[in-house]
Amino acid sequence: MEELIQELKDNPKRFFRKREAAKFFNRSTSTIQRWIDEGRLVSFQPAGMHLIPKSSIIQLLESKRTE
């Protein structure tokens, strides 16, 4: 988990699409959508496409690390 978080922090991208976020969590895009709907992940929708800030992904990964 630590390596994944560090890899994400080192990634120059600031925003990720749902399918990219799904890969970080090894989950489906529907799970990512549900987490967005539940407020577990922050998302912006320019032009109808969900963009998830890197900071939101890191925050959720770090919270899962302590579960």
Question: Could you list the mean pLDDT of each consecutive 10-residue stretch along the chain, which spans 67 residues?
Answer: 87 94 95 96 91 95 79
* 2-65 fold: Arc Repressor Mutant, subunit A (1.10.10)
Tell me if 29 sits within 8 A of 18, measured CB to CB: yes
Q: Which one-letter DSSP state was computed for residue 39?
A: T
27: left (phi over 0), alpha (psi -120 to 50) or beta: beta
pTM of the model: 0.85
Q: Report the phi/psi class of residue 39: left, alpha or beta, with left for phi > 0 and alpha for psi in -120 to 50.
A: left
